[in-house]
Amino acid sequence: MTDTLLLKLVLTPVLIAAASLAGHRWGQAVGGWMVGLPLTTGPVAFGSLAGALAEAAFCLAYGWSARRGWLVALAAASAAFTVVAAGLQRLALPLLALGAIVFAMLAITLRLMPPRAPAAAAPPPPPHWDLPARMVITTALVVGLTGVAPVLGPRLSGVLATFPVYAAILTVFAHRAGAAPAAQVLRGLLLGLFSFGAFFLVLGGLIERLGVAGGFVAATITALAIQAGSLAFVVRPGHA
């Protein structure tokens, strides 16, 4: 337990810093795309795969609420995530059927996101406290969610673990420059969630046949391959 906590305390700020710096360098969508990978999710295939649907609801609700300010948008997105995640607890579908639904809904959600705003001037450099604040807040949230997960059961904890902590922080901080940069993060996240869904689909389908190590290796290779393929749509969003 101590080793796991220490790992989260080290990796979480490193990952959010990497995604933040990538977003500053190559565009906010790249930061969202990076955190689409299963960075904070435990090995609970069904709950985590289904949780991608809740993340899609989060993106859609935030995107359409963004013009009302980050606080309203974050509250609406968190409520949408909670409602969908709670509803998924009653869902009983074969893994392949669930995977098909997840991929279809991700594609539909990308189409339903608010229209892109016209290109604007580059935002000013972030203040000096921006990156440290992201790292501290994200680490605290990840550790807090990890702490309550054991009392919730494997399926609910799997869905809860998919709450887009990294993307929420990136989106809120990007929102300081307006609703359009926040939406860019969310579109990047939605594209990244295709690799997220593929990871847990492969893991759930192969873990009994290949064992834990073999299942995770196959799932990781699949996710990285899809993530690499989706990068073209992130850096050239007009082609998505």
Domain residue spans in the chain? 38-116+135-239
Q: pTM for the whole thing?
A: 0.78
Which residues are within 8 A (CB) of 170 and not within 5 positions of it... i.e. 6 or more apart?
Answer: 16, 19, 20, 23, 28, 31, 32, 35, 134, 185
Helix, coil or strand: residue 81: helix
Mean pLDDT over 4-13 rounds to 61
Cα of 207 vs its chain's centroid, Å: 23
Number of Cβ atoms within 10 Å of the Cβ of 218: 18
Quote the CA–CA distance of 95 and 89 in Å, as a whole number: 14
Quote the CA–CA distance of 196 and 189 in Å, as a whole number: 10
State pLDDT tens for residues 176-220: 888 989 999 999 889 989 988 888 888 888 888 888 788 888 988
Q: What is the pLDDT of residue 78?
A: 92
Q: What is the pLDDT of residue 240?
A: 47
Inter-axis angle of helices 165-174 and 130-148, nearest 10: 150
Mean pLDDT over 47-71 rounds to 89
Quote the CA–CA distance of 41 and 54 in Å, as a whole number: 14
Quote the CA–CA distance of 58 and 164 in Å, as a whole number: 8
